[in-house]
């Protein structure tokens, strides 16, 4: 991995062991939520992480945030072992890594005003201990995300969805983070509001030099923000490349299918596009993965070798990597 990386996750694994009930014989099964993922994010860049629901995107984000502990693997953040940090050292370092979640109403305490919620983030990290200076900083943060100073005195339920998400962004950037996990941060918003929030995140990245992991099931939203795109399927990265290459020359059939699901204005072109990328069946259960390639039961290119050997994610360092026995672009 490049030395200029801000965050590097290597061989990250998170398996959950489940126990079935007595009427099923009390057998144990394992959910391979994240199964050997390696990603790298440079300062001031965005890694777009896409895939269907249940593929492990959110679990990966939680592992990087230390909201969950990996089964195995390594995470380096700012040149230091992120997983080795404990106690006060971890608490102090957490201000460098923040999160923006899908539901802004669930992310804000309904009993607190927006100003108090943002001010609490400052207080928790020992920033702006003076009440007057803290109130001034809250006003500056609200203005930075496109909200008026009067919003500080309002409660979350008094704001629109877009305003609430702007408020959660203000709280996330209040402590000056270097890295933010955006987990479906715009998926609950109207399309026009989605564009505004994406533009806001882009502007903040330019001014703050912050890095993002932008998690989404929709490639269309990722396209406008991501420097690099990683496509995830049942716990593994199946394709990763610079954003332009993913959209112009996808190599994995799953990526082709995701792109085919992106709406286009022309109805005839939309039908042809959908037909070209149509997949058979639904994703496999994470507790009963098929042999070989875990995508093969839905893949139009599947052959005998796909059942025998799992394709590794291979390609040029920093370039286009794909995990497929029969890739094409």
Residue 162: the pLDDT is 93
Cα dihedral angle (54, 251, 300, 39), rounded to 10 degrees?
-20
Q: How much is the average pLDDT of 294-315?
A: 92
Residue 116 lies in a domain: no
Which position has the higher pLDDT, 114 or 279? 114
Residue 77 has pLDDT above 80, yes or no: yes
Q: How much is the average pLDDT of 31-36?
A: 93
Residue 2 has pLDDT above 80, yes or no: no
What residues pair up with 19 in beta bridges, in sequence order? 28
Residue 29: the pLDDT is 80
- Tens of pLDDT along 79-135? 999 999 999 899 889 999 999 998 888 888 899 999 999 999 999 888 888 889 999
Residue 126: the pLDDT is 85
Which position has the higher pLDDT, 26 or 102? 102
Rounded to the nearest 10 degrees, what angle do helices 161-173 and 191-208 cross at?
A: 20
Label residues 236-267 b or e (16+ Cβ within 10 Å = b).
bbbbbbebebbbeebbbbbbbbbbbbbeeeee
Residue 71: the pLDDT is 95
- Tens of pLDDT along 184-207? 998 888 888 999 999 999 999 999
Residue 249 lies in a domain: yes
Residue 137 lies in a domain: no
Residue 25: the pLDDT is 55
Residue 264 has pLDDT above 70, yes or no: no
CATH number of the domain within which 223 lies:
3.40.50.300
Residue ranges of E strands in the chain: 7-19, 28-41, 46-50, 72-77, 80-81, 97-100, 179-183, 211-216, 228-233, 236-242, 314-315, 321-322
Residue 284 — very low, low, confident or very high, per pLDDT cuts 50/70/90?
A: confident
> Residue 182's domain spans which residues?
7-107+177-322
- Tens of pLDDT along 131-190? 899 999 999 999 999 999 999 999 999 999 999 999 999 999 999 999 999 999 988 888
User: What is the C-alpha separation between 201 and 296, in angstroms, rounded?
Assistant: 37
Proportion of the chain above pLDDT 70, given as a percent: 89
Instruction: Say how many domains are in the chain.
Output: 1
Cβ–Cβ under 8 Å, residues 199 and 192: no
Only one residue has tokens 């993922």, namely 37
User: Mean pLDDT across the chain, nearest whole number?
Assistant: 88
Residue 183 lies in a domain: yes
- Tens of pLDDT along 222-245? 988 999 999 999 999 999 999 999
Only one residue has tokens 């608490």, namely 91
Residue 171 lies in a domain: no
Proportion of the chain above pLDDT 90, given as a percent: 68
Residue 118 lies in a domain: no
Residue 167 lies in a domain: no
Residue 131 lies in a domain: no
């Amino acid at each position: 991995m490049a030395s200029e990386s801000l965050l590097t996750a290597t061989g990250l694994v998170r398996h959950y062991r489940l126990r079935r009930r007595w009427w099923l014989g009390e057998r144990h099964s394992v959910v391979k939520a994240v199964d050997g993922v390696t990603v790298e994010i440079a300062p001031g860049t965005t890694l777009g992480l896409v895939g269907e629901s249940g593929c492990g995107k959110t679990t990966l984000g939680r592992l990087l945030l230390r909201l969950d502990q990996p089964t195995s693997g390594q995470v380096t953040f700012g040149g230091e072992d992120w997983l080795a940090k404990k106690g006060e050292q971890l608490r102090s370092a957490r201000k460098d890594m923040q999160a923006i979640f899908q539901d802004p109403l669930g992310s804000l305490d309904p009993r607190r005003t927006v100003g108090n919620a943002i001010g609490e983030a400052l207080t928790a990290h020992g920033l702006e201990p003076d009440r007057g200076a803290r109130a001034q900083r809250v006003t500056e943060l609200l203005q930075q995300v496109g909200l008026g100073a009067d919003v500080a005195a309002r409660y979350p339920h008094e704001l629109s969805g877009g305003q609430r998400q702007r408020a959660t962004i203000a709280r996330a950037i209040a402590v000056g983070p270097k890295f933010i996990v955006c987990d479906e941060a715009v998926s609950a918003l109207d399309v026009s509001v989605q564009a505004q929030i994406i533009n806001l995140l882009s502007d903040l990245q330019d001014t703050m030099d912050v890095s993002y992991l932008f998690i989404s099931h929709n490639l269309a939203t990722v396209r406008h923000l991501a420097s690099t795109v990683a496509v995830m399927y049942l716990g593994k990265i199946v394709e990763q490349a610079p954003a332009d290459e993913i959209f112009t020359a996808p190599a994995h059939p799953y990526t082709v299918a995701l792109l085919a699901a992106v709406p286009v204005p022309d109805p005839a072109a939309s039908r042809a596009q959908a037909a070209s990328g149509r997949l058979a069946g639904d994703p496999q259960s994470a507790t009963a993965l098929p042999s070989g390639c875990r995508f093969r039961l839905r893949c139009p290119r599947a052959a005998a070798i796909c059942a025998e050997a799992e394709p590794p994610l291979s390609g040029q360092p920093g370039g286009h990597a794909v995990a497929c026995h029969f890739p094409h672009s």
